[in-house]
Structure 1
Amino acid sequence: MAPARPLVALLLVLCAAAAALCSLADGAGTADGSEEWGYVQVRSKAHMFWWLYRSPQRVDNGSTPWPTVLWLQGGPGASGVGYGNFMEIGPLDEELKPRETTWLAKADLLFVDNPVGTGFSYVEDTSLMVRTDDEAARDLVVLLDALSPRLHGSPLYIVAESYGGKFAVTTALRALQQGANIAGVALGDSWISPLDFVLSWGPLLYQVSRVDEKGLQQCNSVAAKIKDELEKKQFTDAEASWAELEGVVSANSNFVDFYNFLKDDASEDSTTTTMQQQQQRQRSTLSSFRSRNGYSGYLESMAAVSSFDGIMNTVIRNKLGIIPKDVSWGEQSGDVFDALAGDFMKPRIQEVDQLLKLGVNVTIYSGQLDLICATKGTMDWVHKLKWDGLNNFLNSSRTPIYCKKSGTQAFVKSYKNLNFYWILGAGHMVPIDNPCPALKMLADITRSPAK
């Protein structure tokens, strides 16, 4: 029998055999241990950036361990380390001032720039971009496995916004298949069923007076074309038609904001822009859903992003201290979006069904004023679930949620492991638009122990 190898030599052998799991999971952090960040090489030459915050409110009482929330941004290709962190739920806002409604009040927070090529994450060759939601999930599971020692057995909740919902359900299923413990999944205004959303746009905009009968007819006509293409599994054609439909919506609604239908997404003089010019601009300006302005436009409307790109590439970059010199943070990666074009219009209803059948706690939440992932479209795909508890869920009563004596702020309906939150007064980015009920919802989801 050969003599036992020294531990160091054994680790070297293991790392050589599984480089993705052993490389770059260390990283850096603050002296007090409240923050850590770093890179994980999820595949050869593919590097994913992560940032973990430990809550100052942390309480461990044994029976209810303190939870961790993994936040997944949308796009695909929008930066969770940037937007989710500084714009929505992290400890500091976009001006680097303390946020009163940070989700750190109820959980530790893990932000990632996902998929690789997003934000501070990078690939050494663009051919290494992920092409499917499942490939993105594969990389995320590698990252979670590498970071598991840092989580110390904390219950992990995956909370997603927008296209991040598709990543959330595919990642949760893959992680469960590999023996991980996923405590719950929350899908916020998530692009789970593109068909149900595009079919909802015309009728919703007609009901709220943003299009007339002619506009409704044009929207429904393009939506019907998308339906036909999806039934024929012509997914790239459907993605092109989806962009066409956004142009039709903009032209007929005087540029309604896709993230809040009470707002406009253009200045007054933009009405003189020709349809052809508008559609060309729309296709060339990539963002959250490739709508004309997306995340950057929505946040700029609140004077939030004018200098944020500069902050991320100066103050934040200097703090982190490990970002390669040839990697710059960007608000939205067009390369990531283009690489996933073949999966963009594919539904993930079946994956939600599988999670429910496995007993995973699934929460769906929807901003009342969202158009891109309208509540009507969300409820339509929920009705397609084959989960045996669906009828009981649909027949359950809603409970109102109040905040600071300001009247009804939300409703919630629950049955077994499915929960649905209607967040009033909010558009696509719920934690920005109505943070109080969003934080109450998080407390319900994670069952955080009170301090």
Structure 2
Amino acid sequence: MHINTSNCLLILLSTFHLSCKMRNFSFAIFLITTITCIALPHFHGRLAMATCTQDGSERWGYVQVRPGAHMFWWHYKSPYRVHDPKKPWPIILWLQGGPGGSGVGIGNFGEVGPLDRNLNPRNFTWLRKADLLFVDNPVGTGYSFVEEEKLLVKTDEEAAKDLTTLLIKLFNRNKSLQRSPLYIVAESYGGKYAVTLGLSALKEIKAGRLKLKLGGIALGNSWMSPVDFVVSWAPLLKDFSRIDNSGLKTSTRLVEDIKEQIANGQMKEATKTWGELEMVIMNSSNYIDFYNIMRDAGSPPVSMTTNELSRKTTVNSYSRNLDSLRVLPGLVEDLKPLMNGVVKEKLKIPKNVNWAEQGDLVFEYFSGDFMTPRINEVDQLLDAGVQVTIYNGQLDLICSTKGAEAWVEKLKWKGLKTFLDMDRTPAYCGDDMETKAFRKSYKNLHFYWILKAGHFVPVDQPCISLDMVGNITRSPAR
């Protein structure tokens, strides 16, 4: 790619000056880091392997995980890093759901990164506890792209193979990264990526082909056992007075169809019926928000104004069976201008790559694997001694706590009975002493019940989420 450095500098400097006049200093700092990197090489005919800020606080780039398949990553080095020889500073690899949701956009600017969608500092950024590594996974998602459609992946295992290749190319040549334990933290469908990646990474570590230490895996509101979640939807909503007996009856019939289709190996058909079930739930409940059962679809989060998102837009998105809305309504609707504007310019993304919160083709390609459970993979990780944490927002429907508890009870792990028999302990955050969560741990299995939170726990309960991440990563942060 050819870059006119002089023109880029003039544009960035003028925008920086305007940002300072408007007193948006965090935005100005965001831009100035780009200026420090503008002279780094971008090789003609191919993408640069990595670009970094002058102070080394950020690195980003593309990895060609297969010929013609390019995965984008963005690594933030924490300014809160504590040097403790007994507790090495951790790295969190964030995996977004979907399949096809952009971690570089949604997870970063929408949930846990250093800046929010307005490029203002986030008070509860997870950088306070760890370095952050965001990827757009699988290829075809966000800034990641393929040169031919046939290079898109169709299964969790294929996605894990690409992610493992990414880790090999990033960690094997960087001794600084190798010193930090890697924690894979996933959200929604990302949980299925996380456990398949975890097993793939362990195999490559054992073979000496991957040089990193796997610290643990955290599954946040994760789509680990689709059938357990869909079974929970209608009864849960009936108890909350959001559907009546008619809605319950129709939903139950569709759930039975899904069970039969999965049993017969008709996975694409099961995915199609899942979409029909969601529409029945929407219509029967008068458009409940699948990501927070205390709201209607289109209702903005508490932190947003009511005119930031129209109900019509959200309902139209749901009418496409949620294929294009694997993310919280209102959370990322306004990320497109940012991600295709100043962020794209800073990162020097190819001009023909346009960011979207959801890769529709990616979701379509995963339709045969979407309803596949990954409980066995969790068992394998637990048996291998990997620290596994499950956390769930109390108000989520799509990946309900009731469904999460159901699939956990199906684990064959030898410590399960003791875990299930244990009492939970409350967790607090801040000075008000209000119960924010409950937690339970036995050996290497941990579960957090996060109160007053929906599908996107870091958004709804940022304080307790940050504390939880500190516990998960054993962060030496003070």
Shorter-chain TM-score above 0.5: yes
SS of structure 2 residue aligned to 1:76: coil
Partner of residue 349, structure 1:
375
Pairing 1:82–2:75 present: no
CA pair 318-25 structure 1, distance change in 2 beyond 3 A: closer
Residue from 320, 328, 344 that aligns with 1:283: 320
Secondary structure of the 1:408 match is coil
Match status 1:153 vs 2:153: no
**CA positional deviation for 1:266:** 4.7
Greater than 6 Å deviation, 4+ residue runs: 278-281
Separation in 1 of the partners of 2:258 and 2:280?
13
Distance 1:280 1:401 in 2: 36
* Cα shift readout 1:115-136 (whole Å, capped 9, x = no counterpart): 0000000000010000110000
Task: Write the mapping of 1:50-449 to structure 2, written as runs, cut at 5 A.
Answer: 50-148=73-171, 149-150=173-174, 151-179=177-205, 180=210, 181-266=213-298, 282-283=319-320, 286-287=323-324, 293-295=325-327, 298-300=328-330, 304-321=331-348, 323-406=349-432, 407-449=434-476
Could you tell me which residue of structure 2 aligns to residue 450 of structure 1?
477
Inter-CA distance 250–87: structure 2 relative to 1 (3 Å threshold): same
State the Cα RMSD in Å.
1.7
Deviation at 1:212, TM superposition (A): 1.1
What is the CA–CA distance in structure 2 between the aligned matches of 1:253 and 1:299, rounded to whole Å? 17
Q: In 2, are the aligned partners of 1:162 and 1:373 still within 8 Å (CA)?
A: yes
Instruction: Give the Cα separation in 2 of the matches to 1:266 and 1:308.
Output: 17
**C-alpha contact 1:24 1:41 (8 A) present in aligned 2:** no
Q: In 2, are the aligned partners of 1:51 and 1:110 still within 8 Å (CA)?
A: yes
TM-score, scaled relative to structure 1? 0.88
Q: What's 2:13 paired with?
A: none
Q: Are the structure 2 counterparts of residues 98 and 389 from structure 1 closer, same or farther at C-alpha, using a change threshold of 3 Å?
A: same
Shift of 1:279: 9.5
Distance in 2 of aligned mates of 1:306 and 1:200: 28
Distance 1:200 1:324, change over 3 A: same
Give the Cα–Cα distance (whole angstroms) in 2 for the partners of residues 337 and 121 of structure 1.
Answer: 14
Tell whether the 8 Å contact from 1:91 to 1:104 is kept in structure 2 after alignment: yes
Aligned-partner Cα distance in 1 for 2:464–2:367: 34
Contact 2:71-2:136 at 8 Å conserved across structures:
yes
Relative to the length of structure 2, the TM-score reads: 0.83
Aligned partner letter, 2:262: L
Note the 1:24-35 alignment, pairs <5 A.
Answer: 26-35=49-58
User: For 1:46 and 1:108, how far apart are their aligned partners in 2?
Assistant: 26
Question: Which amino acid letter does the alignment assign opposite residue 149 of structure 2?
Answer: T
Counterpart residue type for residue 283 of structure 1:
R
Q: 1:379, CA displacement in angstroms?
A: 0.3
Q: Which residue of 2 aligns with 1:13?
A: none
Q: Cα distance, 1:280 vs. partner?
A: 9.9
- C-alpha offsets along residues 234-262 of structure 1, whole Å, 9 cap, x if unaligned? 10110010001001101100010000011
How big is the shift at 1:42?
0.1
8 Å contact from structure 2 (residues 106, 332) kept in 1:
no
What is the letter of the counterpart of residue 220 of structure 2? G
CA contact (8 A) 2:297 2:329 kept: no
In the alignment, the residues of structure 2 paired with residue 94 and residue 372 of structure 1 have an alpha-carbon distance, to the nearest angstrom, of 24
Instruction: Show the counterpart of 1:20.
Output: none
Identity %: 57
Q: Contact 2:128–2:477 (CA<8 Å) still a contact in 1? A: no
Tell me the distance in 2 between the aligned counterparts of 1:125 and 1:143: 19
Q: CA deviation at 1:62?
A: 1.0
Unaligned segments of structure 1, at least 5 residues: 1-22, 268-272, 288-292
